[in-house]
A and B are shown apart, each in its own frame.
Chain A
Amino acid sequence: MLSFILRRLGTMALTMLCLTLVVFFLINLDPNLKKLAISQTEMHTSAEQLESWLVNHGYRQNFFSRYAQWLGIAPKQPVINPETGEPTKRFSFCNDPVVPTFSGVLQGDFGCSTKFKTTVASKLFPALGATGILMFWVLVVMVPISLLIGILAGMREGTRTDRTLSVASIASTATPEYVSGVIFTVIFASWLGWLNGSAASASRGITFYNFTLPVMTLAIYGIGYIARMTRASMVEVMTQQYIRTARLKGLSFGSVVVKHALRNALIAPFTVIMLQFPWLLTGVVIVEVMFRYQGFGYTLVEAAGNNDIDLLLGCSLVSVFIVLITQLISDVGYAFLNPRIRVQ
């Protein structure tokens, strides 16, 4: 098991390396750099001025040496101030070194965010924390409700309960966040006034009033999906012969469901729930922007909109890490739930 996890972690590192190289290449294409330079300088700057801004801030160094510097396997070179001829920091708001030092991702330095005028670390990690809180509450609401719905629907296939719950789940999955979000805002914030349509204040303190709408919007969409999966899995399990064995052993319907069906029926949804993590990461983009919540999704949109090179790279690193780590957890958890594939 340990060697399996180690190998998977190795694969993860390799994937991250490849992915960052690709992202690094794409956001350093010439038009993207020009766009960055324009947004960072005054209006109506000439082409020469833009070019000199790029040179002054080190963007015209060799591509691979810059990637190596970002990674931290080559010393980061300070830029030379053309007026004084002395090495200076690239950006005044970040502590870039003035002497060549190894200071990249491997050393824990994620670089500078040109949009937020601060270090990437000081922007990205609080944002991640905020999103983490949001995801936590979404999962707390979504997982139990969806499993309950799925199991109730699936344990007696074709009954009225099953049909009602199935229709509800299909309806909730078929409504994307940007539609349900708008509808909820209109109903709960504008008409009823029970909830706050903006979650901006949630960064300072979460309350039921400001946090319910984003959580609800995200959870409702996921609930339908997981409930459908759970129902399908439950229906299949209930037709298995070992369920008949349990029934003909004299167990009551409740015990049959709880003791025999449940664990087998949870194997498939478990993987689906784990796959919800990457989905939540992208799902939060819409919801965070919509409710003005300063989290990861919001940061990602801002970074992409302004070609904030270091911040974008940081975001992609985090995304890859989360996708791969949830897959690892789901594989390990799957083996735990399903003894047939457990390591001997």
Chain B
Amino acid sequence: MNEAVRNPAEPIIEIENLSISFFTRKGEIPAVMDFSCTVMPGEAMGIVGESGCGKSTVSLGIMRDLSNIGKIVGGRIKFQGKDMGELSEEELRAIRGNKIAMIYQEPMASLNPAMKVGQQLMEVPLIHDKVSKEEAYKRALEMVRSVRLPDPERMMRSFPHQLSGGQQQRIVIAMALLSKPALLLLDEPTTALDVTVEAGIVDLVKGLGEKFGTSMIFVSHNLGLILETCDRITVMYSGEAVETGKIKDVFDRMRHPYTQGLFRSIPLPGADKNSRPLISIPGQLPLPHERPKGCNFGPRCHHFVEGVCNAAEIPMIAVEGHEGHFSRCVRFNEIDWEALPPGAKKVNERIEPGAPVLKIEDLRKYYKVGGSEVFGSSGGRVVKANETISFMARESETVAIVGESGCGKSTLAKVLLGLETASSGSVTLGNKQIESTSVEKRSVETVSSIQMVFQNPFDTLNPSHTVGSQIIRTLEKFNVGKTVADRRKRMLELLDLVKLPRAFETRKPRQLSGGQKQRIGVARAFAGDAKVVVADEPVSALDVSVQAAVTELLMDIQRKNKTTMLFISHDLSVVRYIADRVVVMYLGYIVEQGTTDQIFSPPYHPYTEALLSAIPIADTSVIKKHIVLEGDIPSAMNPPTGCPFQTRCGYKKLVPDNLCETQVPPVKNLGDGHMSLCWLADDVLAKMEPVIKFDKEHAAHEGVPDDAPQGAAGPGFAGAPPKRPRGKRPKLTDG
């Protein structure tokens, strides 16, 4: 079928000691140093790392598309035995899009907006196979079909903007696969997509990879995704590969402190905010021109030994007992892999929630959408952004609001904050009704008692004011402190609270990293002793190692101040870790709510079940029930009749009389405040199995760590609890 299959012993691509630098006015900036990897036919290699670690540069380097300032300064890339560095521009073109194809992060931006999808697809066979237009159309159509897009003929005639994000990404995948490439480069292919859509894409890529025997290089920051899709993994840090090996070896017995740090900072099942909190990596990524001598991770590593780690550049060292497992750490045989970094908290005290602070009853928010102003109106339509929302949050409780894009979670936040007013229903904060008072009409007290932490810390701070003055401005607005000196004192206390040095007072936002900016956002939100803090995806824009630190910070302050937190997120892993209660939203409705335990264990609402199954979990001992939803989330402009989820629900046939399609289900009480919006009968619900299970055999094989909580698994899990984030005890005694 393609050349990949012909000679299975020969690697598809061999990268040897690759170094790539960017040449700017400031001089040479090394982006990738001494990177080696080999991908065999049919194999999938994952490259993981945080932003700025050079993982995208590697993939563009393979394509030799490094703009005019990037240059390969050392090493070789051999593709099917040929050195890419020696190819002429023309030979290179014959490989690009033909033998090596790429799938990109943002599907909308990667498709030409002014060209029909069909034409863009047809280009590939037209250039590379020199076929006729009819033949190209036929092949494109067939490929659109095999990426499981509905109504392929119509798709071919559409412009990219007429498709949803998931559909666009399927088109990009179809484009990449049209030439039956030997190697597929995937650069964060699902980062811009919703989780259930992501699950569909991952499923598709895996299936097509097997079908066509394509090798893959999968670049991602998400360890869970890599586990699901790849055979081997390379972890990158600050321009270097720090660890590489088979998925199972690296995941179960990592031999580089950075890899371990990454695993400890992601909320895996079994992590618990009280008994097993996350451990973040201290410090931050060094800038490319400020990299330390020796180990780049040295300054952030608690195993660092002066004179050993920073003596010389460290090569990749083979790990005994594992085939193809290498680590760029000189001390991995001496390190106690169980040891926790100093200062890591062992256990937090559990806090009992107090009296209700925020009550939301039967809240609705409708928007009127007129036709386009310019091109003739099609009459006003009503978008129901929120429909019969009722829940309540108590003092020092964390309520998570979970849902994908378009589910109405941001609208809900806007209504709570007063940026929008409710269409009907009530929101009670303390003893005040606030649903119809917009923020400018709210009293200072109300405004300061309900505050928000925003998703994107990069855009929410004014770039021309110092951090200190921005916090002081908030304090002024909230009438905190009588004199300037008072407020300054309070501001410095707030900096202490968010664990930033007091010297940051005079810094401008551009001098801070993403995590530090988000800390300022947190300080601002807590400036007026907020009773309720709405955190809208507060960590999703941050890197993994920083996410843990900010999450822990939020919870520390919450503990101290007894704040109620509404944590809006699409990431169920974080939610399971942080939340006491969970509200799951879909298309403006609350489809399920209950305590975290209730939500994460059966019986589920069918949507929650799919959502749980869709989150990639970076743990080899987890067995997931495989549920992939068909299609996309319907548009709120044109919602389905009956149950909002009926268009994608797999349980629909179990409900008699077509009830799902005709009537909105009643809110069903499953006991103890566990509510579900579903027609399913009790016997069906009772038969549901947990989505996430731990492989008992695996756990027995690996042994139980000494710090595992006895008796109880994490919320909603069957089987033995996992051992992370404490780190694994080595099965073999090294050295």
**Residues of A participating in the B interface, judged by any CB pair closer than 8 Å:** 1, 3-4, 158, 240-242, 244-252, 255, 259-260, 263-264, 267, 331, 335, 337-341, 343
Contact = CB atoms under 8 A, between A and B. Distances in A.
B161 A251 contact: no
Given A244-B110, A249-B96, A249-B124, A331 B161 contact: no
Interface in B141-178: 159, 161, 172, 175
Interface of B: 63, 65, 68, 93-98, 101-102, 104, 106, 109-115, 123-124, 127-128, 159, 161, 172, 175, 372, 374-376
Given A4-B374, A340-B159, A250 B110 contact: no
B127 A263 contact: no
Contacts of B114: 263-264, 267, 337-339
Contact of A242 (B95, B110, B159): B110
Contacts, number: 85
Nearest to B96: A250
B109 A241 contact: yes
A343 B378 CA distance: 11
B125 to A, nearest CB: 11
Given A248-B101, A335-B375, A341-B375, 6 more contacts: A4-B375, A242-B113, A245-B111, A251-B97, A252-B93, A264-B112
A340 B374 contact: no
B112 A247 contact: no
25 contacts: A3-B376, A4-B375, A4-B376, A241-B104, A241-B106, A242-B110, A242-B112, A245-B110, A245-B175, A246-B123, A247-B96, A248-B63, A248-B101, A249-B97, A249-B123, A249-B175, A250-B98, A251-B97, A255-B127, A259-B123, A260-B115, A335-B375, A337-B114, A339-B159, A341-B374
A157 to B, nearest CB: 9
A249 B127 contact: yes
B543 to A, nearest CB: 22
A340 B109 CA distance: 13
A96 B144 CA distance: 72
A250 B376 contact: no
Q: Which of A3, A247, A250, A337 has the most CB of B within 10 A?
A: A250
B375 A343 contact: yes
A42 to B, nearest CB: 58
A251 B376 contact: no
Contact of B96 (A248, A263, A267): A248
A253 to B, nearest CB: 9
A249 B101 CA distance: 7
A343 B375 CA distance: 6
Task: Identify which of B65, B93, B94, B128 gathers the most chain A CB atoms within 10 Å of its CB.
Answer: B93
- A242, A244, A251, A343 interface centre (most CB from chain B within 10 Å): A242
A195 B102 CA distance: 58
B477 to A, nearest CB: 39
Given A242-B110, A260-B112, A263-B114, A248 B374 contact: no
A250 B128 contact: yes
B528 to A, nearest CB: 42
Given A248-B96, A250-B96, A242 B111 contact: yes
A340 B124 contact: no
B128 A1 contact: no
Contacts of B68: 158
B159 A245 contact: no
A245 B104 CA distance: 8
Contacts of A245: 102, 104, 110-112, 172, 175
A241 B127 CA distance: 20
A343 B63 contact: no
B376 A1 contact: yes
Contact of A331 (B109, B372, B374): B374
Contacts of A4: 374-376
Contact of A340 (B94, B110, B113): B113
B374 A250 contact: no
A250 B127 contact: yes
A247 B96 CA distance: 8
A339 B113 contact: yes
Contacts of A158: 68
Contacts of A343: 372, 375-376
A250 B68 CA distance: 18
Contacts of A263: 114-115
A288 to B, nearest CB: 36
B8 to A, nearest CB: 26
B139 to A, nearest CB: 14
Contacts of B128: 250
A331 B373 CA distance: 13
Contacts of A3: 376
B375 A1 contact: yes
A166 to B, nearest CB: 17
A240 B109 contact: yes
Contacts of A255: 127
A284 B465 CA distance: 49
Contacts of A339: 113-114, 159, 161
Given A3-B376, A340-B159, A247 B65 contact: yes
A335 B372 CA distance: 13
Nearest to B128: A250
**Pairs A-B, 10 closest by C-beta atoms:** A249-B97, A250-B97, A241-B109, A250-B96, A343-B375, A242-B112, A339-B159, A245-B110, A241-B110, A250-B93
Contacts of B124: 249-250
B95 A250 contact: yes
A248 B93 CA distance: 8
Contacts of B96: 247-250
A267 B112 CA distance: 14
Contacts of B159: 339-340
Nearest to A3: B376
A252 B376 CA distance: 42
Nearest to B158: A339
A251 B89 CA distance: 11
A340 B161 contact: yes
A160 B164 CA distance: 42
Given A4-B375, A339-B161, A248 B97 contact: yes
